[in-house]
Amino acid sequence: MFGFINIYKQKGATSHDVVAGLRRITGIKRIGHAGTLDPMAEGVLPVAIGNASRLIEYLTDEKVYVAEVELGIESDTCDTEGSITPKDSRKVEEAEFLTAINRFVGDITQIPPAHSAVHYKGKRLYELARNGVIPDDIPARNVHVDSIEVIEFDGHRAKLEISCSKGTYIRSIVRDIGDSLGTGAVMSGLLRKQSGLFKLDTAVSTEKLQTKADVERHFIDLFSVLPYARYTINEGNLKQFMNGVAIKNVSEYIEGEAVLVECKDRLIGVARKNGLSLNAVKVFPIEELKV
C-alpha cells in the first residue's frame, strides 16, 4: 500500500491511536501522520501509508483551526482539561478584544504550553508536567500567524478561525490573548479545518475504515496534495531513474526545485533540479504504485 488518507480525528483519541488503528487494519507497520492533534482536538489529520511516509516532508504546512475560547479563567494546560483558576470575569468589549487578537497576527514569538510534546533537556514537557515540574525557561519559538478571524464573541466567550504556520500552538495564542486582556483565557475546543492541502470536507472518520479495502478506497490522489511541478518519464528510461540515474537535458524548472517524476500518471519518485539534470532524491518501488 502506498498513499495518503485524510483522517477526521475524533475528540478524545490521540494521533497515535489513529496510526495504531490503521496498522491493525492494514497490516502495514510503516504509517505516519503529519501534524499531531491533542486528544481534545478534532479534525483533519493527514496520514501516510507505506512508503508515502517518505513524502510527509513535501506536504505544505499551512494550518487552519477553529478555536473556542473562554475568558476570565486560566489553566495549567492552557485549556479546559487542566486545573482551572478564576481570574477576571469582567465582560470584555469587542473593540478591546479585536485589538488584543491583532497583536498575535504576523511573525510572533510564543512559549509552548508546559503540557506539550516539545522536547526540553531530553524529555517531553508533558512528562515533566505530569511529575509536577514546570520549567521557567521553556524556549520560545518563532511562528507565523496569517490571520485571526472572529466567528463568535459575547464578551465572555469567543470562537476564532486561525490560519498559521506549522508548529504554532493555538493554546499558547489563547493564553497570550488572555494575558494581553488581563482576564486570562483558556481554549475550550479545537477543530483543525485544514492541514496543507488536506481539507475538512474530504476527511473520513476511522469508523468508516474497517478493512484494508476501505483504506485503499479513501486514498487521496498524491498529486492533489503535493503542490509541485511534474515531469513525465517514458518507460524506456524508467529503470535507469529507479536505479538513481539522473534525467539529463532538462531545461525547465528552477535550480534546486523539487519535481515529482511520474510515469503513466503514477508517482515514481521525487527529483531535484541541478543544472540541466533532475537528480533522483526519492524513488518508489513499482509494485507499491498499484493503488
Q: Say if CB 32 and CB 48 are below 8 A apart.
A: yes
Our answer to whether residue 265 is catalytic in this structure is no
Q: Say if CB 30 and CB 51 are below 8 A apart.
A: yes
Whole-angstrom Cα distance, residue 261 to residue 250? Answer: 12
Nearest to 97 by CA among 145, 157, 146: 157
Whole-angstrom Cα distance, residue 213 to residue 177? Answer: 46
Nearest to 38 by CA among 182, 190, 161, 203: 190
Whole-angstrom Cα distance, residue 99 to residue 94? Answer: 9
Q: Which amino acid is at 41?
A: A
Whole-angstrom Cα distance, residue 45 to residue 50? Answer: 16
Nearest to 209 by CA among 2, 6, 51, 3: 6
Nearest to 184 by CA among 65, 82, 41, 69: 69
Per the residue annotation, which of 38, 137, 154, 201 is the catalytic one?
Answer: 38
User: Burial of 130 by CB count in 10 Å (0-12 exposed, 13-18 middle, 19+ buried)?
Assistant: exposed
Whole-angstrom Cα distance, residue 61 to residue 24? Answer: 28
Residues paired with residue 245 on neighbouring β-strands, in sequence order: none
Strand spans (E) along 50-184: 63-71, 73-75, 84-86, 106-110, 119-120, 123-124, 141-153, 157-164
Q: Which amino acid is at 98?
A: L
Active site residues: 38
